[in-house]
């Protein structure tokens, strides 16, 4: 995947949110400046369509995790609208990514350079860079 220089990379799962920047070349990403923005996961209407009795009982649907994904999307939306993000790659586990997509603002959608549906929270920077290069 081509990742523009200075593009933001958002790595998200149901509990973690990390934002990094590409300081490398488009085909040779080098991630740095990791930050963990504080999120207020209060959107518990997120994931309501995933809420069912069986899913809740066996733990397949965790509304707190889906609310965290929605909060990450809202953070990215705000930064996009403010013009603080020009290019962004979102890396998230499939369930979180699906929830985030439901909350993307049109300004964020214009700035998306790609999405990778893979769980990479907690992975080494080298592993994340490799996943981007292979995408």
Q: Which CATH class is domain 8-134?
A: alpha beta
- pTM of structure: 0.86
3-class SS at 117? Answer: strand
In this prediction, residue 4 carries a pLDDT of 97
Report whether pLDDT(2) > 70.
Answer: yes
Task: Please write the tens of the pLDDT for every residue from 89-108.
Answer: 999 999 999 999 999 999 99
Mean pLDDT for the chain overall: 88
- Judge contact between 8 and 85, C-beta under 8 A: yes
In this prediction, residue 64 carries a pLDDT of 80
- Phi/psi region, residue 95 (left: phi>0; alpha: psi -120 to 50; beta: rest), is alpha
102: CB partners within 8 A, 6+ apart: 46, 70, 73
Structure tokens at 37: 């923005």
- pLDDT, greater one: 43 or 20: 20
Query: Domain coordinates of the chain in residue numbers?
Result: 8-134
Q: Is the dihedral of CA 38, 81, 42, 8 positive or negative?
A: negative
Task: Please write the tens of the pLDDT for every residue from 32-72.
Answer: 999 999 887 665 554 445 445 555 555 555 778 888 899 99
DSSP string, 124-135: -HHHHHHHHHH-
- pLDDT, greater one: 110 or 38: 110
């Amino acid at each position: 995947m081509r990742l523009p220089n200075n593009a933001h990379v958002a790595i998200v799962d149901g509990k973690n949110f990390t934002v990094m920047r590409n300081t490398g070349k488009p085909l040779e990403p080098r991630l740095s400046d990791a930050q963990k923005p504080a999120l207020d996961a209060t959107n518990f209407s997120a994931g309501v369509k995933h809420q069912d009795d069986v899913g809740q009982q066996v733990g397949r649907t965790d509304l707190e995790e889906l609310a965290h994904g929605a909060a990450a999307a809202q953070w990215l939306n705000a930064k996009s609208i403010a013009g603080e993000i020009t290019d962004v790659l979102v890396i998230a586990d499939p369930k979180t990514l699906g929830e985030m997509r439901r909350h993307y603002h049109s300004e964020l959608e214009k700035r998306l350079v790609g999405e990778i549906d893979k769980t990479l929270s907690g992975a080494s920077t080298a592993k994340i860079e490799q996943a981007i290069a292979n995408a």
